[in-house]
Amino acid sequence: MSGTHTGNPVAARVRRLEERLIADGLVTDGELDAVLTAVLDGASPLNGARIVARAWTDAGFRDRLLADANGALPEVGLSMAGGLQEQRLKVVANSPGRHNVLVCTLCSCYPVALLGPSPSWYKSEAYRSRVVREPRAVLAEFGFDVPETTEITVWDSSAESRYLVLPRRPDGTEELSEEELAGLVTREGLIGTAAV
């Protein structure tokens, strides 16, 4: 994690905190790097897509995933462990009458292991503040028009809890394999700023 981050004020603040922890003898640069490596190792939106595709093809897995996501993840070889502690994951399913969208209003908490590094817009103050107040307008700016008859629920992540959206399976995909279905799922669909 060494190096300077003059162009990014958040990165610069994080580095100052890291340097203070190192100076106080609480951690080494190597230990910080090891934590970051563990968190990012294998982190990809493909993980979330695999979860969704399994839920679309296996009703039992879908039920277990919605009831206890942390307990269901090992069935697809994944977990929310990584870093310092396991984070609680809640999967929220879209339906014809409800669309879910994710945000972290305080910072940018996000299920990195399942979605890869968060997009820059997810961290922006504009997204974090507006999606809570006017989710339909924000989704429209992403090119995703949610019907007026569909209720939108905004889920606010925290340091302990993360969310993942289970998009609705697209019509006409009954003949697709689980792998082909996973190829339809986007990171934006897993956050809720796209249909899939």
| Per-residue pLDDT tens digits for 53-88 | 999 999 999 999 999 999 999 999 999 876 556 789
Q: 45-191: CATH homologous superfamily?
A: Nitrile hydratase alpha /Thiocyanate hydrolase gamma (3.90.330.10)
* Per-residue pLDDT at 159 exceeds 90: no
For residue 4, the model assigns a pLDDT of: 41
Catalytic, 104? Answer: yes
What pLDDT does residue 5 have?
39
Tell me if residue 108 is catalytic.
Answer: yes
pLDDT for residue 13 is more than 90: no
The sign one gets for the Cα dihedral 18, 19, 21, 25 is: positive
| Of 2, 95, 107, 124, catalytic | 107
Helix (H) or strand (E) run with residue 59 in it: helix 59-67
Query: Would you state the pLDDT for residue 10?
Result: 55
Question: Which one, of 149, 191, 184, 144, lies nearest residue 166 by Cα?
Answer: 191
Catalytic annotation, pick one of 2, 79, 95, 109? 109
Is 95 among the residues known to form the active site? no
Determine the pLDDT at residue 2: 39
* Residue 147, burial from CB neighbour count under 10 angstroms (0-12, 13-18, 19+): exposed
pLDDT of residue 19: 81
Residue 6 binned pLDDT confidence (cut-offs 50, 70, 90): very low
Write out pLDDT tens, residues 20-47: 888 898 888 777 766 666 656 667 899 9
pLDDT at 1: 37
pTM of the model: 0.80
Q: How confident is the model at residue 176 (pLDDT cuts 50, 70, 90)?
A: very high
Tokens read off for 142: 């992403």
pLDDT tops 80 at residue 118: yes
Mean pLDDT of all residues in 89-107: 96
Separation between Cα atoms, residue 177 and residue 190, nearest integer Å: 19
Residue extents of the structural domains in the chain = 9-40, 45-191
